[in-house]
Structure 1
């Protein structure tokens, strides 16, 4: 009998990696890095053996997809932001059995999903950044789910999340699920000054993000689920906020009512709104 032991919404901003390097931004994302490390420590305390990540940097145009190779190893440079993440080495074990089960259960429940074990199907940085800080010693197996679902409905991802819960419970794994994506996600305009790396792109987005965080702290997901489609549309949700829909589908959607635990306070990064937050299990 498998078990879901932890669920969280996390940042994966590439400036976390930049924060490690010598230069003007050294240490700028230490709070976010520390938050990832605390989540990793919590996973260890809970006996987690596999981390499943919904990665909004993995774009898919049809169906749902799970990357569940037995091993993920390589050197990563971001095509999107090569001046932030370049030559980042990684090496993590996978969990093919869980990945196949996720795909089978979701498909059985009407959300067609494929599981992939392909060496050339690489991980994206929505998975690689958190694993760098949570899983540097390869303690956890990793499964990555495509979270940028370009032509999908949020309700499909809600249903995928519910199927994911069934798959975890039918497995022999102890799982943590991470929705790896931002709150608002409108980048700064090209040509913005370098210090804009620490700014929100529009005050409107900050105000909506802060209201969302208030709702989460109050456990008012009945209200949040009602506003999620418009929040996504008007605040440029990253990956369509399908990672968040999966997370809440896993937890019970609008019936979920637990106040979240803020691990890293809300912050702006390159125009976008970011947070690390643990969602207590129902």
Structure 2
């Protein structure tokens, strides 16, 4: 019935907002902003009505959660970096119908997920920063998905991504984009060194690790990448333990996926972290490679995913 038209892995660095403002950082993140504008343009061209954002700034300690209130409006200041994002206005329409539908389907497929449509909860900046550049005219509706998951297995996040795709394709009357909003390596610069690392990655090891991963993505080496994702998330200081990436890959078909990534905004360093904007062709997949539920008590961040 419905269609998943675009999947992306996107940056949300708060220096993008600083880049708009008068001062020494003005214009310094225009490449990342232009990448968001381009992804938004493609979504419009594809007829997307809703952006589903896997937000690595929405921390949850149990279950998976979808924020699908009818409307969001306010002024946002980051509690993490209030000197970067301060009093940033936002407004967008939510999609309660789609959010509740995805939660029902995911729960029915064994991944307990709760939709919140009657809520005062606003999205975090992993959602709000991309919307600022992709959706300035409120053209798209938005559903935000919790992706800073503290006690969750990457297996289950991959299964969630697949379930959300199935909800769209089997039950939704519309066209959707999935956006994994999070960095690659995410080791912030040590306190006191942030200015020195404003445009750098924290260490040569992390930068080379990220660059090798991007090379794998561009070559479509997804079977190898899926096998290494848990260890990469751990040793590479992946943002949100890279649950957004697991959700994204679950939606694409996990290790069954074979298409190459397209890099929209080339890799760059920001406050020590590794960032990019990339899109991934949505191809037909069977879902047979989606990881099974994790049944053991082993560490969910480092346990290697099993295959069905």
Structure 2: distance between partners of 1:225 and 1:143: 26
SS at match of 2:177: strand
SS at match of 1:105: helix
Q: Which residue of 1 aligns with 2:81?
A: 81
SS at match of 1:139: coil
Structure 1: distance between partners of 2:201 and 2:96: 39
- Report if the CA contact (8 A) 2:194-2:271 is conserved: no
Alignment of 1:52-71 (within 5 A): 52-71=52-71
Structure 1: distance between partners of 2:194 and 2:116: 41
Q: Which residue of 2 aligns with 1:125?
A: 125
Structure 1: distance between partners of 2:241 and 2:174: 29
SS at match of 1:185: coil
Q: Which residue of 1 aligns with 2:184?
A: 183
Q: Which residue of 1 aligns with 2:201?
A: 200
Q: Which residue of 1 aligns with 2:108?
A: 108
Q: Which residue of 1 aligns with 2:252?
A: 251
SS at match of 1:212: helix
1:280–1:204 Cα change, 3 Å: same
- The structural deviation recorded for 1:103 is 0.4
Deviations 1:114-144 (A, max 9, x none): 0002442011000000000000000000000
- Report if the CA contact (8 A) 1:98-1:173 is conserved: no
Q: Which residue of 2 aligns with 1:146?
A: 146
Deviations 1:35-87 (A, max 9, x none): 00000000000000100000000000000000000001111000000000010
- The structural deviation recorded for 1:196 is 1.5
Q: Higher helix fraction: Structure 1 or Structure 2? A: 1
Structure 1: distance between partners of 2:120 and 2:68: 12
User: What TM-score do the two structures reach when normalised by structure 2?
Assistant: 0.91
SS at match of 1:281: coil
Q: Which residue of 2 aligns with 1:21?
A: 21
- Report if the CA contact (8 A) 1:49-1:141 is conserved: yes
User: What TM-score do the two structures reach when normalised by structure 1?
Assistant: 0.99
- The structural deviation recorded for 1:265 is 0.1
SS at match of 2:148: strand
Q: Which residue of 2 aligns with 1:270?
A: 271
SS at match of 1:226: helix
List alignment gaps of at least 5 residues for structure 2: 284-308
Structure 2: distance between partners of 1:57 and 1:185: 12
- The structural deviation recorded for 1:104 is 0.3
Structure 2: distance between partners of 1:254 and 1:223: 8
Is 1:35 aligned with 2:35?
yes
- The structural deviation recorded for 1:193 is 5.0
1:126–1:6 Cα change, 3 Å: same
- Report if the CA contact (8 A) 1:66-1:115 is conserved: yes
- Root-mean-square deviation (CA), in Å? 0.7
Q: Which residue of 1 aligns with 2:215?
A: 214
